[in-house]
Chains A and B, each alone.
Chain A
Amino acid sequence: MTGMRIRLDRTICDGFGVCAARAPGYFSLDDWGYASLTGDGQVAPEDEAAVNRAILDCPVHAVTVLREPPWSEESRLRRAVRVVHRRPGRDERVDLRAEISQDHDAERTGSAALQFHDSKPGEWSCH
């Protein structure tokens, strides 16, 4: 995954509804006007301007941009490519990308579960 990723903190949202007005494809409001993300927070490049507007206009700053953590697959792949370019002709010139992708395979199953489990009975509960 590349590009912009956003996060909505629903414990902060006060139901102004500005986000859904600015970027309706990314935010949905409930009967009382409180927002949730429609997707997983991944923003298409062509929508970045609208989503940025939503971020800037939220009166309580409930929407923020997620920085890609250094342990994410994307960050690691980016670094792996850099290593290859930086040290030409050396033994260290190993393409780590396959290894990194493999490393994340087991994780991916878990992450997928982490994303949907909140709404499925039996997948998660408070205790």
Chain B
Amino acid sequence: METTRDVMAPCSVAVRPGLVGRLLRAAPGVESLDSYVAAAGGYPDSSTGGLDAEGLLEEIEQSGLRGRGGAAFPLATKARAVRRVAKWGRTPIVVANGEEGEPASIKDRWLLRNRPHLVLDGLRLAAATVGADRAFVYLSDPLAARSVASARQEAERAGRLMLPVVITVVEPAYVAGEETAAVRAINGGPAKPTDKPPRPFEAGVSDRPTLVSNVETLANLPFLYRHGAGVYREVGTAASPGTFLATVSGGGRPPALYELPHGIAFRELLALHGVASRAVQGVLMGGYFSGLLDTRALDMTLDHESARLLGSGLGCGALCILGEDECPVAVAASVMAYFARENAGQCGSCFNGTAAMSAVLGALREGGVSTDDLSRLRRWSEVLRGRGACATLDGATNLAASLLDRFPDSVTRHVDGGCDGCACSPFRASRPFEVEAVCLA
């Protein structure tokens, strides 16, 4: 296994043994233009070369590349939607979304900090695909911003970038990574989501059709461009092709960033991470978004379909392992408190709903709730779904519903006031499984 310590965030970084890394690289430090061009054959032509925009879009479609920001939305469908709107005389804009508000994920920051040319090359290809004349890199991490800015200068001087790239830096926030928040911030507003419609593909930056794509998604494009859809699909499953980046935290081990093929067994990842299966009590899936899974997670494979079959989601690839000594109720209470604190404060259903659910879970952790409170929590987890402009409230309902469904014994123990773990060492992390903080501590 190639393992290296990342210079800026001391979090171990590894590619699954036997897999040739498409996104991660073993060499430490920021990848320069020369080494990117030498190693990956990057920025192959001054334009998209022999491959016209339609051809590149065809390759993307054939490859089945899905967005890596959490929604797993097919990139080709998004790009086609942008192009269709663009036919009405409005030149598209492309945005690389690198604002990783998810505390349990570090993949986008790693890519922006260490392989900025890979992201810029992908951004350039995406721009060619939809015919954009301007591109933005939207992020909050200062180290990533510095890295991208110097890479941009390097690429511009070498005549590799074919369009102006603007770097937009915002304050980090959970909701700032949502695509409409990116558009709103670039347009000069607050980095908070707007209600849909319109989606960015209809009216985005400067009211133009806008392709907002996660940086990991864009980082897949140079490989796809060079090798084609066939080679791209050699790794992964039919519906979740290619490799993905997984931020793994918890389980009593330091966090790590892995590049894995879609469809890898979760047990194999646990072995890679050095966590014994019997020590796993559950997993918080997709960062804070997709809720909790119990030990049934051990037999899943890591792709979107298997996660969905379990009623969960792979999301942005962040997996937080609940070790033996971690109480699921305490974790859920902390994450719900985070939602109640960090929501955009815009939609009434969300700021009221997360506060109410957080109050119940906080009381549950302390052993002071009635069954009425629990049935209210259950009802909110069902009726509040889909009632926010962005998906924060859905993340909160996923969390509440999955705790009640997957860990009924832990919940009952708390109602009866008998959780020994929580009684003697309350789990009060303000951002449980936060990777950066854990890494730098």
A114 near B390 with CB under 8 A, answer no
Q: Are A122 and B349 in contact (CB under 8 A)?
A: no
Per-position 1/0 for A63-79, Cβ under 8 A of B? 00010011100000000
**Pairwise interchain contact A11-B314, C-beta atoms closer than 8 A:** no
Are A107 and B347 CB-contacts (below 8 A) given A121-B398, A125-B395?
Answer: no
B315 close to A125 (CB less than 8 A)? yes
Q: In the complex, which range does the number of interface residues on chain A fall in?
A: 35 or more
A9-B289 Cα distance, complex, nearest whole Å: 23
Residues in B neighbouring A12, C-beta threshold 8 A: 195
Quick one: closest B residue to A110, CB to CB? B77
Chain B proximity mask over A18-61: 1 for CB below 8 Å, otherwise 0: 00000000000011111010000000000000000000000000
Interface flag for A10 (CB, 8 Å): yes
The answer to whether A85 has its CB under 8 Å from any CB of chain B is no
Nearest to A75 among chain B residues (CB) is: B88
Total A-B residue contacts, Cβ distance less than 8 Å: 163
14 contacts between A and B (CB under 8 A): A10-B388, A11-B193, A13-B348, A32-B352, A32-B353, A33-B348, A70-B88, A117-B73, A121-B315, A121-B394, A121-B398, A122-B285, A123-B313, A127-B178
Q: Could you mark each residue 290-318 of chain B with 1 if its beta carbon is under 8 Å from any beta carbon of chain A, else 0?
A: 11000000000000100110011111100
CB-CB under 8 A from A7, the residues of chain B are 195, 197
* 4 smallest beta-carbon distances between A and B, as pairs: A122-B313, A125-B70, A34-B348, A110-B77
Q: Is the CB of B81 within 8 A of A107?
A: yes
| Residues of B in contact, count (CB < 8 Å) | 71
Known contacts A8-B195, A71-B85: A124-B387 contact under CB 8 Å? no
B175, CB-defined interface residue at 8 Å: yes
- Which residue on A lies nearest to B311, using beta carbons? A121
A residues bordering B, Cβ < 8 Å?
7-15, 30-34, 36, 66, 69-71, 103, 106-107, 109-110, 113-114, 117-127
Q: Which residues on B sit within 8 Å (CB–CB) of A127? A: 69-70, 97, 99-102, 105, 108, 177-178, 214, 287, 316
